[in-house]
Protein backbone atom coordinates (compact mmCIF):
# COMPACT_ATOMS: atom_id res chain seq x y z
CA UNK A 1 0.00 0.00 0.00
CA UNK A 2 2.68 2.50 1.02
CA UNK A 3 5.06 3.70 -1.66
CA UNK A 4 8.71 4.53 -1.24
CA UNK A 5 9.63 8.03 -2.34
CA UNK A 6 12.74 10.15 -2.46
CA UNK A 7 12.23 13.88 -2.34
CA UNK A 8 15.00 16.44 -2.06
CA UNK A 9 13.81 19.28 0.14
CA UNK A 10 15.96 22.36 0.57
CA UNK A 11 18.91 20.39 -0.70
CA UNK A 12 18.48 17.38 1.57
CA UNK A 13 17.32 14.04 0.15
CA UNK A 14 14.58 12.33 2.15
CA UNK A 15 13.56 8.70 1.71
CA UNK A 16 10.18 7.76 3.11
CA UNK A 17 7.35 5.30 2.65
CA UNK A 18 4.06 7.11 2.30
CA UNK A 19 0.41 6.41 1.67
CA UNK A 20 -0.35 7.39 -1.93
CA UNK A 21 -3.02 9.82 -0.76
CA UNK A 22 -0.64 11.73 1.50
CA UNK A 23 -0.68 15.31 0.25
CA UNK A 24 2.70 16.83 -0.44
CA UNK A 25 1.96 19.61 2.04
CA UNK A 26 1.30 17.08 4.78
CA UNK A 27 4.48 15.26 3.85
CA UNK A 28 6.46 18.47 4.16
CA UNK A 29 4.79 19.58 7.37
CA UNK A 30 4.06 16.39 9.25
CA UNK A 31 6.65 13.92 8.00
CA UNK A 32 9.58 16.27 7.46
CA UNK A 33 8.54 18.73 10.17
CA UNK A 34 9.00 21.78 7.98
CA UNK A 35 6.02 23.76 9.19
CA UNK A 36 6.70 27.05 7.42
CA UNK A 37 4.52 25.89 4.52
CA UNK A 38 0.91 26.52 5.54
CA UNK A 39 -2.57 25.34 4.63
CA UNK A 40 -5.26 27.98 4.19
CA UNK A 41 -7.97 26.36 2.10
CA UNK A 42 -8.78 23.02 0.54
CA UNK A 43 -9.62 24.13 -2.95
CA UNK A 44 -6.27 25.29 -4.40
CA UNK A 45 -7.24 28.93 -4.11
CA UNK A 46 -5.31 30.53 -1.26
CA UNK A 47 -1.71 29.65 -2.11
CA UNK A 48 -0.49 29.49 1.51
CA UNK A 49 1.02 26.09 0.68
CA UNK A 50 3.10 27.32 -2.26
CA UNK A 51 6.53 25.74 -2.64
CA UNK A 52 9.00 25.66 -5.51
CA UNK A 53 8.96 22.26 -7.15
CA UNK A 54 11.68 21.61 -9.70
CA UNK A 55 11.99 25.34 -10.25
CA UNK A 56 8.32 26.11 -10.52
CA UNK A 57 5.90 27.41 -7.93
CA UNK A 58 3.30 24.84 -7.04
CA UNK A 59 0.50 24.43 -4.51
CA UNK A 60 1.68 21.58 -2.33
CA UNK A 61 -1.88 20.91 -1.17
CA UNK A 62 -2.82 19.97 -4.71
CA UNK A 63 -0.24 17.26 -5.15
CA UNK A 64 0.34 13.88 -3.63
CA UNK A 65 3.73 13.27 -2.13
CA UNK A 66 4.15 10.31 -4.49
CA UNK A 67 3.96 12.72 -7.42
CA UNK A 68 7.00 14.51 -6.03
CA UNK A 69 9.07 11.31 -5.98
CA UNK A 70 12.42 12.26 -7.48
CA UNK A 71 11.68 15.95 -7.40
CA UNK A 72 13.47 18.80 -5.75
CA UNK A 73 11.46 21.07 -3.49
CA UNK A 74 12.32 24.42 -1.96
CA UNK A 75 10.22 25.58 0.95
CA UNK A 76 10.30 28.88 2.80
CA UNK A 77 12.84 27.37 5.18
CA UNK A 78 15.20 26.98 2.27
CA UNK A 79 15.03 30.59 1.10
CA UNK A 80 17.62 32.00 3.47
CA UNK A 81 19.78 28.90 3.37
CA UNK A 82 22.96 30.89 2.85
CA UNK A 83 22.27 32.73 6.07
CA UNK A 84 21.22 35.91 4.28
CA UNK A 85 17.58 36.68 3.72
CA UNK A 86 16.40 36.27 0.14
CA UNK A 87 15.67 39.72 -1.36
CA UNK A 88 11.97 38.87 -1.38
CA UNK A 89 12.06 38.05 2.33
CA UNK A 90 13.93 41.28 2.91
CA UNK A 91 11.36 43.20 0.89
CA UNK A 92 8.49 41.80 2.96
CA UNK A 93 10.27 42.88 6.13
CA UNK A 94 11.29 46.33 4.87
CA UNK A 95 7.92 47.20 3.35
CA UNK A 96 5.69 45.66 6.03
CA UNK A 97 4.40 43.10 3.55
CA UNK A 98 2.94 40.91 6.27
CA UNK A 99 0.80 41.17 9.35
CA UNK A 100 -0.31 37.81 10.74
CA UNK A 101 2.31 36.09 8.60
CA UNK A 102 0.19 33.08 7.69
CA UNK A 103 0.02 33.69 3.94
CA UNK A 104 3.57 35.05 3.91
CA UNK A 105 5.62 31.93 3.12
CA UNK A 106 3.38 31.17 0.13
CA UNK A 107 3.45 34.80 -0.98
CA UNK A 108 7.24 34.87 -0.79
CA UNK A 109 7.58 31.68 -2.84
CA UNK A 110 5.13 32.97 -5.46
CA UNK A 111 6.88 36.34 -5.59
CA UNK A 112 10.27 34.69 -6.00
CA UNK A 113 8.93 32.69 -8.95
CA UNK A 114 7.47 35.84 -10.46
CA UNK A 115 10.73 37.77 -10.28
CA UNK A 116 12.63 34.90 -11.78
CA UNK A 117 10.42 35.07 -14.86
CA UNK A 118 9.94 38.83 -14.87
CA UNK A 119 12.69 40.73 -13.05
CA UNK A 120 11.03 44.13 -13.37
CA UNK A 121 7.28 43.68 -13.08
CA UNK A 122 4.79 46.54 -13.15
CA UNK A 123 2.27 47.04 -10.38
CA UNK A 124 -0.36 45.27 -12.48
CA UNK A 125 1.97 42.40 -13.31
CA UNK A 126 2.78 41.90 -9.65
CA UNK A 127 -0.89 41.80 -8.75
CA UNK A 128 -1.61 39.41 -11.60
CA UNK A 129 1.35 37.25 -10.60
CA UNK A 130 -0.03 36.91 -7.08
CA UNK A 131 -3.55 35.92 -8.10
CA UNK A 132 -2.94 32.47 -6.68
CA UNK A 133 -2.23 33.81 -3.22
CA UNK A 134 -4.74 35.31 -0.82
CA UNK A 135 -3.93 37.67 2.01
CA UNK A 136 -6.64 38.84 4.39
CA UNK A 137 -4.55 41.29 6.42
CA UNK A 138 -2.54 43.65 4.28
CA UNK A 139 -4.81 44.75 1.44
CA UNK A 140 -1.86 43.75 -0.79
CA UNK A 141 -0.40 47.25 -1.21
CA UNK A 142 2.59 46.63 1.03
CA UNK A 143 3.05 43.25 -0.62
CA UNK A 144 3.26 44.96 -4.01
CA UNK A 145 5.84 47.32 -2.53
CA UNK A 146 7.72 44.39 -1.02
CA UNK A 147 7.99 42.74 -4.43
CA UNK A 148 9.09 46.03 -5.98
CA UNK A 149 11.76 46.33 -3.31
CA UNK A 150 12.98 42.82 -4.04
CA UNK A 151 12.92 43.49 -7.77
CA UNK A 152 15.14 46.55 -7.36
CA UNK A 153 17.49 44.74 -5.05
CA UNK A 154 17.83 41.71 -7.31
CA UNK A 155 18.46 43.87 -10.36
CA UNK A 156 21.06 45.87 -8.46
CA UNK A 157 22.73 42.66 -7.38
CA UNK A 158 22.68 41.33 -10.93
CA UNK A 159 24.12 44.60 -12.23
CA UNK A 160 26.99 44.58 -9.77
CA UNK A 161 27.52 40.86 -10.22
CA UNK A 162 26.98 40.49 -6.51
Partner 1 sequence: MAKYVGQRVKRTEDPRLIQGLGHYVDDIKLPDTLHVAFLRSMYAHAKIKSIDTSEASHAPGVVAVYTGKDVAARVGPVPCAAALPDLKVPDYRVLATNHVVFVGQPIAVVVATDRYAARDAIDLIMIDYEELPAVIDVEQAAKGGPLVYEEYGDNIAYKLTAGEGDIEAALKSSDRVVSQRIVHQRLAPIAMEGRGVLARYYPGEQELTIWSSTQIPHLLRTQLAIMIGMPENKLRVITPEVGGGFGSKLNVYAEEALLGWISMQLGKPVKWIESRRENIQATIHGRGQVGYIEMGCNNDGTITGLRYNVFADLGAYHQLLTPAIPTLTGLMLSGSYKIPAIQMNVTGVFTNKMATDAYRGAGRPEATYVVERAVDLVAAELGMDTVDVRRKNFPAPSEFPFKTATGLFYDSGDYEAALNKALAMADYKSLREEQKKAREQGRLIGIGLSTYVEICALGPSQAMPAGGWESATVRIEPTGGVTILTGASPHGQGQETSFAQIAADELGVDLNAVTVIHGDTSIVQYGIGTFGSRATAVGGTAVFIAIEKLKEKATNIAAHMMKTDASNVVFKEGRFTKQAAKAASAGAGAKPEPEPDVPVGEAPAGAMPEPEADGKGVTIQDVALAAHIARDIPPGSEPGLSATYFFEPTNFTFPFGTHIAVVEVDRETGDIKFMRYVAVDDCGKVINPMLVDGQVQGGIVQALGQAMYEEIVYDDQGQLVTGTLMDYAIPKAAMVPWMDLDRTETPSPVNPMGVKGVGEAGTIGATPAIVGAIVDALSPFGVRHLDMPIKPETLWRIISKAN
Partner 2 sequence: MIPAQFDYLAPKTIDEAVGLFAQHPDEAKILAGGHSLIPAMKLRLAMPQVLIDISRIKDLAYIREEGGQIRIGAMTTHYQLESSDRLREICPLLPECAAQIGDVQVRNKGTIGGSLAHSDPAGDWPAAIIALDAEMVAVSASGERTINAGDFFVDMLTTALGPGEILREIRITTPSERFGQSYLKVPQPASGFAVVGVAVTLTRDSNGVCKSAGVGITGVASKVYRATAVEQAISGSGLDEQTLAAAVAHATDGVSVNGDLYASEAYRRHLAQVYTRRAIEAAASRAK
* Strand residue runs (E) in the chain: 3-9, 12-18, 50-53, 56-59, 72-74
Report in angstroms how near the CB of residue 73 gets to partner 1 at its nearest: 13
Nearer to partner 2, 50 or 104 (CB): 50
Q: How far apart are CA 47 and CA 39, in angstroms?
A: 8
| Among 1-9, 64-72, 97-105, 148-156, the segment contacting partner 1 (CB under 8 A) | 97-105
Q: Binding residue for partner 1 (CB under 8 A) from 39, 67, 69, 72?
A: 39
Residue 55-74 contact track with partner 2, rule CB under 8 A, x = bound: -xxxx-xxxx-xx-x-----
Residue 38-57 contact track with partner 2, rule CB under 8 A, x = bound: -x--xxxx-x--x--x--xx
Q: Binding residue for partner 1 (CB under 8 A) from 5, 7, 9, 22?
A: 22
Residue 112 has φ and ψ, to the nearest 5°, of -65, -40
Q: Binding residue for partner 1 (CB under 8 A) from 7, 9, 32, 36?
A: 36
Q: How far apart are CA 159 and CA 127, in angstroms?
A: 25
Contact 147, 86 (CB under 8 A): no
Partner touching 11 among partner 2, partner 1, none, CB below 5 to 8 Å by kind: none
Q: Binding residue for partner 1 (CB under 8 A) from 136, 156, 157, 158?
A: 136
Q: How far apart are CA 73 and CA 111, in angstroms?
A: 16
Q: How far apart are CA 60 and CA 1, in angstroms?
A: 22
Amino acid sequence: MKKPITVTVNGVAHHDEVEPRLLLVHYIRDVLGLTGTHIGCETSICGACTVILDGQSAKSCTMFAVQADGASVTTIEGMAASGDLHPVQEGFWEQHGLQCGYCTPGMIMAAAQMLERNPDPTDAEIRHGLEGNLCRCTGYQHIVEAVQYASRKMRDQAATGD
